[in-house]
Amino acid sequence: MSDVAVVVGGGQTLGAFLCEGLAEAGYRVAVADLNGENASKVASSLNDKYKTGTAKGFQVDATCEESVKALATSVAATFHQVNLLVYSAGIAKAAPITHFPLNDFELSLQVNLIGYFLTAREFAQIMIREGIKGRIIQINSKSGKMGSKHNTGYSAAKFGGVGLTQSLALDLAEYGITVHSLMLGNLLKSPMFQSLIPQYAEKLKIKPEEVESVYTAKVPLNRGCEYQDVLNALLFYASDKASYCTGQSINITGGQVMF
Ligand SMILES: NC(=O)c1ccc[n+]([C@@H]2O[C@H](COP(=O)([O-])OP(=O)(O)OC[C@H]3O[C@@H](n4cnc5c(N)ncnc54)[C@H](O)[C@@H]3O)[C@@H](O)[C@H]2O)c1
């Protein structure tokens, strides 16, 4: 049987693109999202495009322990194995620190960090139980390596993700399970980036329509990060070719971050 990938946050945008790319690469895909309707739509389009049984949608709140446990049970009952967990769920709330609401800071930690911890814990148990030398890959951000103005909650949570990845890698090495974070540059066309444009325009004191070009100019390779760039790295680190790599935070930033 083909390998099984679980994509948390797979209901839209980057997560949905990764589900499609994984199905294309031969994985069966558990598409999990807070928005269960979106998860089911993504799964059903994969079943139409590839073959029935390729994918199934699941509703989950990754920040809720009971919900994540229920997801792990349902995925195991459906697919009987898990080879790859991709944690793509994320949320970005921007405001200057002087006005940053505690609720938004806590929500950033919950979705970007706690959800990663809970899903990694539950799906690692399945990999260990089934004797699978699996892969856990977190979708992180360059804001997990460099502070980000007006993004204290997001950046703090993504930095936390790097420590969690390294610690998971140490805990899971004895089982042959490897763990990585992918540190993305700005996905300029994504709804997440687009939603932050008004705040970025205010922060930089420029017009909203100038924001994208300012962000592109910061990138040595002179373009924003694309979903395909992320998929390319994901497929490599999920593969046997990367079996000697673990605990890494891999930059996909066009050279904007080099450490
Ligand atoms: N968009 C960017 O410019 C950018 C840049 C760097 C890194 N990233 C990272 O890439 C990842 C995907 O970003 P995106 O732009 O596709 O975001 P998005 O907001 O379009 O998608 C995030 C998905 O996560 C789901 N989600 C949110 N809370 C959840 C929860 N509690 N439980 C389960 N699912 C939940 C949402 O329903 C949504 O489908 C995130 O981790 C983000 O931090 C994005």
Ligand 1 contact via 139 beta carbon (within 6 Å):
yes
Residue type, 98: T
3-class DSSP assignment, residue 32? strand
131 CA → ligand 1 middle, Å: 30
| Alpha helices (H) along 62-174 | 65-79, 102-109, 115-129, 152-172
Residue 3: predicted pLDDT: 98
One-character DSSP codes across 161-189:
HHHHHHHHHHHHGGGT-EEEEEEE---TT
Residue 196: predicted pLDDT: 85
Specify the residue with its C-alpha closest to ligand 1, atom 27: 89
Residue 199: predicted pLDDT: 86
Which helix (H) or strand (E) is 44 found in, with range? helix 36-49
Side-chain half-sphere exposure of 246, counting CA atoms within 13 A? 22
Specify the residue with its C-alpha closest to ligand 1, atom 19: 192
Residue 237: predicted pLDDT: 98
Tell me the domains of the chain and their CATH numbers. Answer: 4-185+226-252 (3.40.50.720), 188-224 (no CATH)
pTM for this one? 0.98
Q: Which two tokens stand for residue 243?
A: 């079996």
The residues, ordered by sequence, that sit 6+ positions from 110 with a Cβ below 8 Å of its Cβ are: 63
| CA of 142, closest atom in ligand 1 | 6
The DSSP call for residue 64 is -
Residue 203: predicted pLDDT: 85
Q: Which two tokens stand for residue 230?
A: 């992320």
Ligand 1 contact via 12 beta carbon (within 6 Å):
yes
Residue 216: predicted pLDDT: 97
| CA of 38, closest atom in ligand 1 | 39
SS3 of 193-242: HHHHHHHHHHHHCCCHHHHHHHHHHCCCCCCCCCHHHHHHHHHHHHCHHH
List residues bridging with 57 in a β-sheet: 31
Q: Divide the 259 residues of the chain into consecutive groups of 10 and give the mean pLDDT of each group.
A: 97 98 98 98 98 98 99 98 98 95 98 99 98 98 97 98 99 98 97 90 92 96 98 98 98 98
Report the sign of the C-alpha dihedral through residues 203, 209, 212, 217, in that order: negative
Residue 96: predicted pLDDT: 95
The residues, ordered by sequence, that sit 6+ positions from 47 with a Cβ below 8 Å of its Cβ are: 53, 54, 55
258 CA → ligand 1 middle, Å: 24
CA distances from 113 to 109, 120, 218, 239 (A): 5, 11, 27, 25
Specify the residue with its C-alpha closest to ligand 1, atom 22: 89
Which helix (H) or strand (E) is 250 found in, with range? strand 248-252
User: How open is the CA angle 213-219-224, to the nearest 5 degrees?
Assistant: 60
> How far is Cα 67 from Cα 128, in angstroms, rounded to an integer?
21
